[in-house]
Amino acid sequence: MWAQVARLSVVVPFYNVEDYFEAALESIARQTLSDLEVILVDDGSADGSTLIAKSYVSRDPRFHLLQQENAGLGPARNAGARHATGQYLAFADSDDLVSPHAYALLTGSLDKTGSDIATGAVRRLTAVGPTPSRLHEGPFRKTVLRTHVSRFPALMQDRGAWNKVYRRPFWDAHGFEFPRGVYEDAPVTVRAHVLASSVDVFEDVVYYWRLRDSGGLSITERYRELANIEYRMGTVRDVGGFLAASAPALKPAYDRSVLMSDIRLLVQAFEYATDEDRARIAELAAGYLDTVDASVYGTVPMPDRLRGYLLGQRKLPELLEVLRFERRGEAAGSAVARRAAGQARWCARYPFFGDAGHGIPDDMYDITSEMTLNACVDGVGWHGRKLRIEGHAYIHRVSSATPSQCRIQVMLHNSRTRRTIRLPVTRVSRPDVTAGSEQAAVSYEWSGFAVEISARRLATLPGVWRGADWELRVGVSGDGFQLEGPVTAVLPGSAQWPEGRWVSSDVWLQPAPEHDGRFVIRGQQARAYVTACTASEDTLEIEGWASHPLTAATRVVASRRQGGVAAVRVPAEPVPAPGRGQEGDGPRGRHSFRAQIPVGALIRPQDASSPIHRMLPVHDEFTWDVSLNPGEEGATSRLSIAAVKAGARVAHRGREVTAFATHFGSFSLLERTLRPVVTSLEWTADQRLVLRGDYAGGWQDRPSGLILRHVRSGRQHSLPLRWEDRTFTTEFAPGPASGLATSAGPGNPIPLANGDWHVLAPTPAAGAEVAVALDRRLLAGLPGYHRMGVHAVEARPYNTDALRLHVRLDRADDERGPFAAGQLTKQYYPRARAEPLRELAVFDCFGGRTYACNPRAIHDELRRVRPGLECAWVTRDLQFGVPEGTRLVPAGSRPHFEALAQARYVIVNDELPHWFRRREGQTCLQTWHGTPLKRIGLDIAQPQFETGLVYADVLRQAAANWDLLLSPNAFSTPVLRRALGYDGEVLETGYPRNDALHQPGRDERAAVIRGRLGLPAGKRIVLYAPTWRDNAARPSGGGYGFDLHLDLQAMADALGDDHVLLLRLHTNASNSPAANIASGFVTPVTCYPDVTDLLLISDVLVTDYSSIMFDFAGTGRPILFYTYDLADYRDNVRGFYFDFESQAPGPLLTTTADVIGALRDLPAVRRTYQAAYQAFAGTYCALDDGQAAARAVRRLLGSR
């Protein structure tokens, strides 16, 4: 025990986390609350973590180190807590980050409220930045002080130990201890929530929960493993037992949370499990679900209710069929049925509904409570003296395909006066609502509405505005259903930031959304108003008036919302009454004042080396609310301001302070990292987006360019800036954008990929990238989607004013979304099939992802021998180019349906759309995409990928459409025939995609590719191309994780002088390494369209179990195998078709050091594996002679 007593003790256990540990400790060391002690508990680490901990202990007296044998996270936390001396207690995990103001905010709140726990919002932290944490969305929608789980049941979802501060006497009084094993948080946190006198809940983000991109799967990501499930359900039983005994009234809320989280994950694990494990999963689920009251099932969404019921009742065949039904995509279009007896109830037509033989109650299918009112405000504006509101409203699953199918009523309701104003409604056709509804059952085309109201009708009484607070409400009725309620959503733009107006000499009428999505029109009496706000060198100067007299004691007061610092008070200097001002400035004859706010008083110096500062550039903001205090015990008034008067900005010590108006017109200040601010955004006639803006910092700090970075993939483009004093301009064409060229040639730049793109600026002042902001005065009038070719691009704000671009294919509304897809399949495709076949060849490579692989080689050969043949290439989002004369067909569009209905030749290397049916006269060639080492198709005993349950059925249906199947060699022919469920003709031609590796001119082509990628001459090019891991699926359809075991920085340090590494992850891997990892040594090429180009330029290949080894073996160049998980992959994930360990044409390596050593001595590798390499190439590469495409095309054309 150490002598010093701290205000807060933070316990940080650690075990083998050297990659993330220092950032975690820095985020704690740099807290705005400095009066803390940090207790580091070494749980038997065997890596460099202990050295990192000791370095902090040696240089910061607040840090202390305990060491113990490995006992697990729970015991390590307990050990740290026993040594803690602080008034308050917190826990942090060793790979996460704590927000800079977190502990000041949470401890400060406990000081004021007397609560036992303070808890705050959480974000997930990925390699490409922070994302919302779904587990924490419910509890942290708004700040609530002195609450309790009995009054706020959503806190049952707040089960993490690390986003909280506990009052230490409360902790000790109840003897909290974390159990051994995994899922150790909930037994403590749920108990604490129940036993607390009260809890303070903050919407502010206080914690960043890391989703690792290396170091193995986390406990949460191992949700499919039976041992993990045993631990999970043990924790669930423990917590449920405690609630049943100590707080039975709260158990239903916990049971609901279990059904929607733990049981949901059990169902996902059940889907991929063996029959034996499925029985055990059902047993574990039933053991708990038997304690759940039947009434709880009715409180969860129907799919969770039905799956949980079937699992708990051990109706395992029925559960499997329900899961197949959902995997086939039929749930999105499931019909709604009325129950025949009793009160009006609606049910979803899922499997076994109404089938008495299976004994499943109709209540399990009941969706009445889910047929909710969805009402959204889309736009707000003044038309003369009337306020016009446009929006849409529908009842989920109730059709509004025609105006007569539903009725829409719109009203304004004043709860204080109990007065309701019913507004005349103009109906509006809105096919876009159906397109964006993510369901296939019904159309919402006539869900649109528009209303107008004169401002004077909103007065409480004629000329009286006290209590004028009107909530917009919408009623929808149709198909026997009738619902009324408040607006539930508001779109960005004029609906989120509508213009307000003066409606009397001292009343400002402001329409605006509340924090919970409701839309309100509020008449506010202005007691203190800012008429001007200007920036000087280091101050913000404000002028305004107050409705009360001013004295020498009157102060302008700025208070930081996040707490932790004292309010800033400055004198409000009275000034003579103003003369006649500009119209719209508000009333005259009030008590005028002037004040100067020194921005230095608002800014806490930020360290550019802080991990939060570097990694979370958009999450370092502090808001100051500004009020006028008259002094002498007078009532403080919030200052108001019109949005057009705000916007002044001052830079100071690498930070900036910006004046802005809140939704309801209150005057506030935003303090954050200095950044470029876009003040103008416009499109040119030649489809270029022009951004203009300014920068409050000095010329030495300003960035030379901006970065566009894709949120999911991490792909990026650079945008140079042109500067004139403190203003900048940049312009670019989002489609196509400058950047990585396509494999079709350097003259074919590609458009921005679909999805969201952050706009970032690397600034010297920040020492990191910061989010580029939009001037808040632009937010109400952003231009919306701009159409350019087959894409549409929209500038959108996120986190209030950070700029990002959203890109999507510009399909018509009747081509977008599940409902449109269903209509095209049922109606348009049959009509197109009735038309004659055309001399057309359609190519589809990996579901429209790219122009590459075998289809590309066949396309090029087909164009050579049949130049008059029409060719079309399916594209998902135009992330590649094709040669002139071939047209691109967007997947899912009408041209796509038409092309597949009428093409004489269809060439594909993977799946075709589920709706495709080969017709007479068509020839469908399946080329497949690799010689199989790992088991594929029907040979996979227990598929672990997302479509595993229906995979065999889908594959057999697909194979029935094929006329020809390509095989790369004699070994593959019987394997492909059996594994793909195909009994037709097989063409053993070799793989056309490998022709480019063996044809004349390959050296010249390689030189072009190297130049395109900007690779330095004279360095050895190493391609690292691992395959994906089926068993690494992330919960809730989050793709597949990939653990980058290879230490790229260590490789750069050892090999960077004469090597470069091309990093190509499998397209199924959903995580991406950080964009700047081992910069200068690593070139990310995951998004490069054609891997054959990469093979052509690579001197050595590093892979694992990928079929890329067979393609590269034909070149004779060295292959290294990084097989750190060989036994697990071979025995538990896929299995192999041959003895890989004995036949591998290169060394099987298990550490980064092994890979570095092999790359340093490739001549030795060649000598050792020469015989094995020759045998391998002789078996699998015998047909790689540069003529495979010619052989395939001759048979294809001869098949007519």
Q: What is the pLDDT of residue 594?
A: 95
How much is the pLDDT for 767?
A: 65
Pull the structure tokens for residue 1072: 């991406």
Helices (H), 849-971: 853-865, 894-902, 948-959
Residue 1036 has pLDDT above 60, yes or no: no
For residue range 794-820, list pLDDT tens digits in order: 999 988 899 999 999 888 999 999 999
Four-point Cα dihedral 992, 997, 1002, 1006, nearest 10:
110
User: How does residue 938 score in pLDDT terms, banded at 50, 70 and 90?
Assistant: very high
Question: When comparing pLDDT for 552 and 968, which is higher?
Answer: 968
Residue 351 contacts by C-beta under 8 Å, 6 or more apart in sequence? 318, 321, 322, 325
Residue 632 has pLDDT above 80, yes or no: no
Please give the CATH number for the structural domain made up of 373-524. 2.60.40
* Nearest Cα residue to 131 out of 614, 615, 674, 609: 615
Q: What's the average model confidence in pLDDT over 1152-1179?
A: 97
AA letter at 636? T
Question: Which pLDDT score is estimated for 1076?
Answer: 56
The residue-averaged pLDDT of 330-354 equals 82
* Cis amide linkage into residue 736, ω under 30° from 0: yes
Q: Extract long-range pairs of 567-572: CB within 8 Å, 24+ residues apart.
A: 568/597, 568/598, 568/601, 568/602, 568/624, 569/629, 570/595, 570/596, 570/597, 570/598, 571/595, 572/546, 572/628
CATH topology of domain 526-646+656-670: Immunoglobulin-like (2.60.40)
- pLDDT score of 611: 60
What average pLDDT score do residues 937-949 get? 86
Lowest-confidence pick of 307-311, 573-577, 986-990: 573-577
Q: Which CATH number fits domain 8-222: 3.40.50.1370, 3.20.20.70, 3.30.465.10, 3.90.550.10?
A: 3.90.550.10
pLDDT of residue 32: 85
Look up tokens 């590609």; give the residue.
750
Average pLDDT in the chain: 90
CB-CB contact of 224 with 265 (8 Å): no
Q: Helix, strand, or coil here: 962?
A: coil
Q: pLDDT of 749-802, one tens digit each?
A: 678 889 999 999 987 765 678 899 999 999 999 988 999 878 899 999 988 899
pLDDT band at 740 (very low <50, low <70, confident <90, very high): very low
Contact of 889 with 930, CB cutoff 8 Å:
no
Average pLDDT over residues 972-995: 97
What is the distance between the alpha carbons of residues 374 and 381, in angstroms, rounded to a whole number? Answer: 22
Whether residue 564 is predicted with pLDDT greater than 90 in this model: the reply is: no
Task: Give the pLDDT band (50/70/90) at residue 698.
Answer: confident
Once rounded to an integer, what is the mean pLDDT over residues 894-919? 97
Domain locations in the chain? Answer: 8-222, 223-331, 373-524, 526-646+656-670, 677-809, 813-994, 999-1180
The dihedral sign for the CA sequence 130, 131, 135, 139 = positive
Mapped to the 3 state alphabet, what secondary structure does 1100-1130 carry? EEEECCCCHHHHHHCCCCCEEEECCCHHHHH
Residue range 300-320, pLDDT digits in tens = 999 999 999 999 999 999 999
| pLDDT tens digits along 989-1010 | 999 999 999 999 999 999 999 9
- The answer to whether residues 132 and 123 touch, using CB atoms and an 8 Å cutoff, is yes
The answer to whether 855 and 1189 are in contact (CB under 8 A) is no
CATH number of 999-1180: 3.40.50.12580
Please tell me which residue, 618 or 811, carries the higher pLDDT value: 811
**Residues 382-419 pLDDT 10s:** 999 999 999 999 999 999 999 999 999 999 999 888 89
Q: How far apart are CA 632 and CA 551, in angstroms?
A: 9
Q: Which amino acid belongs to residue 433?
A: V
pLDDT of residue 606: 60
- DSSP SS3 for 265: helix
What are the helix and strand counts (H, E) for the chain? 30, 63
Q: What is the pLDDT of residue 5?
A: 78
Q: Over 80: is that where the pLDDT of 1039 sits?
A: no
Query: What's the pLDDT score for residue 736?
Result: 62
Mean pLDDT score, 584-606: 77
User: Do residues 287 and 233 touch, judged by C-beta distance below 8 A?
Assistant: yes
Beta bridge partners of 538: none
> How high is the pLDDT of residue 676?
95
Type of residue at 298: G
Dihedral sign for Cα atoms in the order 308, 313, 314, 317: negative
**Residue among 1061, 1164, 1160, 1181 at smallest CA distance from 1116:** 1181
More confident residue, 1000 or 743: 1000
219 pLDDT above the threshold of 90? no
Pairing verdict, β 469-478 and 407-414: antiparallel
Over residues 96-111, mean pLDDT? 93
68-95 per-position pLDDT tens digit:
999 999 999 999 999 999 999 999 999 9
pTM of the predicted model as reported, rounded to 2 decimal places: 0.87
pLDDT of residue 616: 59
Residue 9 phi, psi (nearest 5): -105, 130
* Residue tagged 């570097």 (tokens): 614
Query: What is the structure's pLDDT at 1043?
Result: 78
Instruction: Determine whether domain 677-809 maps to CATH 2.60.40.
Output: yes
- Percent of the chain whose predicted confidence (pLDDT) is above 90: 74
**Residue 195, pLDDT score:** 97
Yes or no: domain 813-994 corresponds to CATH 3.40.50.261: no
pLDDT at 615 over 80: no
Q: Do domains 8-222 and 526-646+656-670 have the same CATH topology?
A: no
- Could you tell me which of 982, 936, 937, 934 has the C-alpha nearest to residue 962? 982
pLDDT score for 942: 84
Q: What is the Cα–Cα distance from 145 to 717, expressed in whole angstroms?
A: 44
